[in-house]
Structures are given as C-alpha cells and as structure tokens.
Structure 1
Amino acid sequence: MSDDTKIFEELFDENKKLTEKQKKIIAAAIESFAEKGYAATSTSEIANKAGVAEGTIFRHYKTKKDLLLAIASPVMAKFLAPFVIKDLNKVLNQKYEHYEDFMKAMIKNRALFLKENIPLFRILIQEIPFQPELKEQFTEHVAQKIIDRLEKTINHYQEKGQIIEMPTYTVMRVTISTIFGYLIARYILAPEGDWDDEVEINRTVEILMHGLAPKEA
C-alpha cells in the first residue's frame, strides 16, 4: 500500500482487531483494486500479493465483495466523511470576496486531498456507481453533508450578484462536474502530462465563470 494513503494507515491504527494477515490482505486488495478495478481482480491475485493462501482470504471474508466492503465501508463512515468534511471546511469556512476565488481554493484543496489518497479515490470512483451499498453510504456520510454546505455558499454568491440566477442544484452540478473533470484528468487519466497546474486551474475557473456569470442588461 502506498505510504501516502493516510486514511488507510489510520484505519489500521484504529481497528486493533485486524490481524497482521488481514492487514496484508486489505493492503494487497487496495493496491489491486486501484490498479485493475474490482471486477478484473481475482482473489488469487490478492492472496499472491499479500503472501497468504487464497483460503486465508475466505476465512476472513466470505466473498470478494465482502472484502471490498470491508475496505470501503468503515473508511466511508469513520474516516472519509469526517476527513473530507473537516478538510473541505478549510475552504467553506473562509469568506472569499468572489466566487472565482472560492473555486480556485476549492480546486487546490481537493487536489491536495486527491494526491494524498489516490488509491482510495480510484476504488471509490470505480465502484460507487456499481455497488449500491457504497453508493448509499457515500450519499449518507459524504455527499449530503457537502451538498448542504455548498448550497449555502452558492446562495451567498447569488445574492451578491456574482452567479446567474438559476436553481442552486444546477449551479452545484456544473461546478462539481467541472472541478472533478479537471482533477480526474490531472491525477487519474493523464498524471504524467505536461501540466502547469496554476494555468490549468485558472482556465478551469475562467470557463466555469463564463458560463455562470450573470448576463449584462
């Protein structure tokens, strides 16, 4: 497992009931799921990477899906949600004069979080759409809390006349999809590209604001 995956280090420290073999299995599963995806990873590959017999995995986890949920579920509830919310609050609690300043701060904040937790992010982005249990937990523990805060922020800038008057949900959807479109391209799809992060962040915000800026009378 990557040394900079802080959430999983905390998971191991917090869960004292995990045996050394379970830690090896989970670490190997994280690496394999992140590299190849859940569907393309076999339990025999995980066992080989963990240095245990395949039967050892099934003594602890009845199915491969149980192993995935053992990784993602406690992380979602105990670590990802509070970590994301606390980290995101560094931006949300600031009073930026302009919406574009808020957007730049948001992108830089999420980029830092993503760089420190890429294996986790890969697993969640790959599996949440296809695993109802993970989708439900993500909605409950992460998405709804973020949406509530973003809604208030967007309303604030609409009242200041900096964002076009349209439903808050639409502004939120456009903003989130634009930010994560940049982050996924930067850190998942083409991390080795010749990136000038400051320039790309400014361009991303410029494109976003061009669409959201109020129309002049």
Structure 2
Amino acid sequence: MTYNNLLDSMIAEAKRSKKQTEKQQKIIETAIQLFAEKGYANTSTNEIAKQAGVAEGLIFKHYGTKENVLRSVILPFFKSSLPGMAEEVFAEVLPAETTTFEEFLRAFLYNRIQFFSENKQILQVVMKEIIYNESLKKELLPYLANEIRYRFRKAIETFKTKQELKNIPTDDVVNILLSVLGGFIISRFVIVDVDRIHEYEVEQLIQFIMDGIRQNDH
C-alpha cells in the first residue's frame, strides 16, 4: 500500500474499520474531508452531520465532542499505518549500498517535502492539533517519533561503519536530525504556511547538517 495521498488513505482506513457502523464510517469520512478543506477549527459538528446525512445528535452520541471525532480519525490511522509509511519512505530514500549519507539526507528531505506539499491541508490539521492539543500530543507524538527514530538509527549506524560521520553517539545524531528536519518542514508548511520550499533552502540546511556531523576527511 502506498500513502502518497494521505486523505484517500485515511478515508480508506475508516471504511475498513469493523468496529464502526455504516453511519459512523460516514461521519468519519465526512469529517476527514471537511477538516482538510476548511481546517479543524472552522468545521462544526453541525456541518459534519449535514454533509454525512445524519443527525448532529448521533455525532454526540458516538463521539461526545468534535475533538473526539478528530481523535477517531488520527489515532487509528497513524497507529495502524505509520510502520508501513516509515518503511516505504526509507525504502525509497535509502535504495543502495553505495548511497552516501549526504545523498540519503537530500533524498529524505525532498521526499518529505513533496509528501507535505501534496498533503498540505490534512497535514496542517494533524500537525496543529499535535502541537496544541496536549492529550493528543502525549498519545501520538512518542509513537510517531519511535517509528521514525528506529529507522534513522539503523541508517546512521550504517553510515558510521563507512566512517562518513563523526563518532557522535547515534541517539544524539537522531535527536538532532529529527528536531532540525522536522522543525524545518513543519515551520514552513504549518506555521509559516508557504506553498513551496525553495531548493536553495534545502541545500543550505543539508550543508549546515553535514558541516556538523561529516568526518573531516570526507
């Protein structure tokens, strides 16, 4: 399964759920589409109900609040799909033994920038809620980080054995990379809300990182 179109993947996941009635699936499907189109804050439960063809009271009966509707969208999808998504990304950006760390870093950045660009609306909703919703952050952020951290550790250990990187503890390198790369992409697409990231920005970031962790003789 590919996850390039995140909105379609989330809707497909909702439809596959055997724990929900047909009306609940319609509520979730409609909520995903409206959150992506209008943003979470600008979408009301009344609007979700109207477009889903159900009574608003049914939403409150099953979910209680709009926040719980969002949680019913985000948590099941990412918990079931994130391992496959992470595996897919690293298979794409780390394809060969001859890849250098700089090539891997560049491929990873451009891959994730393209993914965010193509799924900007729904990812803005997800990321903003993770940033500002403490309960959602506590439940989902460690899970997100761990799935990505595990694969980054493997990649970094590989490049350290090739003596491309300084002898910095692997976990420290992972923490720095996740903070810098995640902060760069999220700040542009979520906080600043740009339509695209320029190539020169990416290359400056890559050189900034490489200057800090590259072995001096590389």
Question: TM-score scaled by structure 1?
Answer: 0.76
Query: In structure 1, which of residues 11, 23, 26 is the aligned counterpart of residue 26 of structure 2?
Result: 23
Which of 10-19 and 55-64 deviates more? 10-19
Other structure's SS at 1:192 match:
coil
1:131, CA displacement in angstroms? 3.9
2:183 equivalent to 1:181: yes
Unaligned 5+ runs, structure 2: none
CA distance in 1, matches of 2:141, 2:83: 8
**Aligned counterpart, 2:204:** 203
1:155, CA displacement in angstroms? 2.0
1:22, CA displacement in angstroms? 4.4
Query: In structure 1, which of residues 63, 73, 76 is the aligned counterpart of residue 75 of structure 2?
Result: 73
Q: Deviations over 1:38-64 (max 9, x none)?
A: 6x7653454466565432321331223
CA distance in 1, matches of 2:117, 2:51: 24
**Aligned counterpart, 2:194:** 191
Q: How many residues align?
A: 210
Q: 1:31·1:119 contact (CA, 8 Å) conserved in 2? A: no
Name the aligned partner's letter for residue 77 of structure 1: K
Name the aligned partner's letter for residue 164 of structure 1: K
Q: Percent identity?
A: 27
Other structure's SS at 1:122 match:
helix
Q: 1:47·1:57 contact (CA, 8 Å) conserved in 2? A: yes
Which of 148-157 and 172-181 deviates more? 172-181
CA distance in 2, matches of 1:148, 1:162: 20
CA change 1:103–1:176 in 2 (3 A) is same
Name the aligned partner's letter for residue 204 of structure 2: R
2:88 equivalent to 1:115: no
CA distance in 2, matches of 1:33, 1:115: 13
CA distance in 2, matches of 1:88, 1:18: 36
Unaligned 5+ runs, structure 1: none
* Superposition pairs of residues 82-161 of structure 1, within 5 angstroms: 82-129=84-131, 130-132=133-135, 135-140=138-143, 142-161=144-163
Q: 1:104·1:205 contact (CA, 8 Å) conserved in 2? A: yes
RMSD value over aligned CA atoms? 3.2
Q: 1:185·1:191 contact (CA, 8 Å) conserved in 2? A: no
